[in-house]
Amino acid sequence: MGGNSVFGQAPVILGHRGCGRGTVDGHLENTLGSFLAAVDAGADWVEVDVRRTSDDHLVVVHDPADEDGVFYVDITSREAADKGALRLEELLEALPAGVGVDFDVKTAMEDATRPGSGTTMGRLAAIAVRESSRREVLITSFDPGALDIARRLAPGVPRGLLTWVGFPIGHAVAAAAHLDVQVLAPHWGSLRPNEIEPKEVQRPLDYVIDLVHETGREFLAWCPKVEFAQRLLEAGVDALCVNNVPDAIAALTPAAVQLEREQGAFTTDDP
Domain parsing of the chain, residue ranges: 12-262
Q: What pLDDT was estimated at residue 1?
A: 34
27 and 15 Cβ atoms separated by less than 8 Å: no
The series of mean pLDDT values per 10 residues for the chain, 271 residues long, is: 70 97 97 98 97 98 97 98 97 97 98 98 98 97 98 98 93 97 96 79 93 97 94 96 96 60 40 25
> Structure pTM?
0.91
Q: What pLDDT was estimated at residue 253?
A: 78
Superfamily of structural domain 12-262: Phosphatidylinositol (PI) phosphodiesterase (3.20.20.190)
